[in-house]
Amino acid sequence: MTRLAVIVADAMGPDTGPAQALQRFGYTQVQQARAFDDAIDAITNEHVDLLIVPIDGLDDAGIATLERVARRERHMGVIATSPRQDPELMLRAMRAGIQEFLVRPLSLTDLVPSLERLHRRADSREVNGQVFAIFSAKGGVGTTTTALNLASALASNHPDAKVAIADLTVPGGDLAILLNAHPTYDLGELSSKIERLDAELLNSVMTPAADGVWFLAAPDRPDAADAVDAGVVAAILAQMRGSFAFSVIDCEHQLNDRTLAALDNADRIVLLTELKVPSLRAAQRTLGIFRRLGYPNEKLCVVVNRLQSGDVVSPAEASQVLKADIFFKLPNEYRTVSEASTKGEPVVQSHPDSKLSWAYLQLAHKLGGGTLSAPSDGGNGSRSVLRQIFTRKRN
């Protein structure tokens, strides 16, 4: 297993001996960051497992940033160093949630036990996260778009939590396009090593995508589909639950064994439909199957996507036909969705003042709680329009 350690400036001191000890703990990649800000950039863009930082060089804002990052990247070990055993600095480190404090230059006899303690703590740190599967028996209803934006909204409502999004459509790729991501690894790698799956292996194949969201890509090779069977999906979801506060699954439209494994293992199923006859028929059939499978009503959340004034069926009529409550309604905002996908960002990030973004945040809040902070215009989507009018160039 390869691990990445980032060392800020002279956090370890001039001796290269202790740095070699990092290799023994699996840190085959060691990056030197010139300054603390460079290390923060690296942590935002890569999966960093260990940060060694000279805490005496940080001001209050730097400590606050470190605290935030350490809380968000719970998998990451942090060692703070300083030139002396300064009780005030040690207290600052502890308040920032850093449990390892060493005096530099680092010696092997201090560093090795410190790394052992960090690893022991990491092994015992399991979360019991929630899994939301997004499903529609009909294609093109918005499953992938909703999955991505729900994940992004969950991350926004829970700034300290790690959120995963997994593409289970095999062969897949739509999520990678919407995120403009080019992941090196995908779930095909996991299926070939499934008996060795642990938090570390899962983290190593996931790509940091949008803010606070980690992405598990689907293989785009058609021949990879057979290897990703129900057992693989169940094992991956169990590991995701242990490593992420929330996991959102973009499911295939066919109710095959792979999809059923995802739906069985999910806490909630978001069944997407449009208020159109073909889509409602598909939702009605699906709900019939779900009830025969014994899924409890509380597990099923019918979400109407692309709600618009021209819909021939009303939400109340849809509820009657489906014999189920409508859990949530997402507005139709084609332009917003297409602009976001062109930018390779979730709507929640690229169009935070849009009605649709506000709707995703509310849906995420209804499913996963957290802090819902209203956009500055209360979700009317007007601020961006006003801004456009007032910033329009005069010819």
Residues that bind ligand ATP (CB under 6 A): 136, 139-145, 174, 253, 305-306, 330, 332-334, 337-338, 356
Decide: is 149 part of the binding site for Mg ion (CB under 5 A).
no
154 binds, among ligand ATP, Mg ion, none (CB under 5 to 8 A by kind): none
CB of 220 to ligand ATP, least distance (A): 14
Nearer residue to ligand ATP within complex by CB, 33 or 347: 347
104 binds, among ligand ATP, Mg ion, none (CB under 5 to 8 A by kind): none
What lies within 8 Å, CB to CB, of 256 at 6+ separation is: none
Decide: is 220 part of the binding site for Mg ion (CB under 5 A).
no
CB of 142 to Mg ion, least distance (A): 8
What lies within 8 Å, CB to CB, of 208 at 6+ separation is: 44, 45, 46, 47, 214, 215
d(CA 249, CA 27): 31
Residues 280 to 339 in contact with Mg ion, rule: CB under 5 A: none
Q: By C-alpha distance, which of 233, 371, 368, 367 is closest to 302?
A: 367
Residue closest to Mg ion, measured at CB: 144
Nearer residue to ligand ATP within complex by CB, 206 or 330: 330
Of these, 144, 156, 279, 357, which contacts Mg ion (CB under 5 A)?
144
What lies within 8 Å, CB to CB, of 70 at 6+ separation is: 51, 76, 78, 96, 97, 98
Cβ atoms 51, 8 nearer than 8 A: yes
Q: Tokens 């889509």 belong to which residue? A: 279
CA distances from 199 to 7, 73, 235, 238, 379 (A): 23, 13, 11, 10, 37
Nearer residue to Mg ion within complex by CB, 81 or 259: 259
d(CA 55, CA 66): 10
Residue closest to ligand ATP, measured at CB: 139
139 binds, among Mg ion, ligand ATP, none (CB under 5 to 8 A by kind): ligand ATP
Binding residues for Mg ion, per CB under 5 A?
143-144, 174
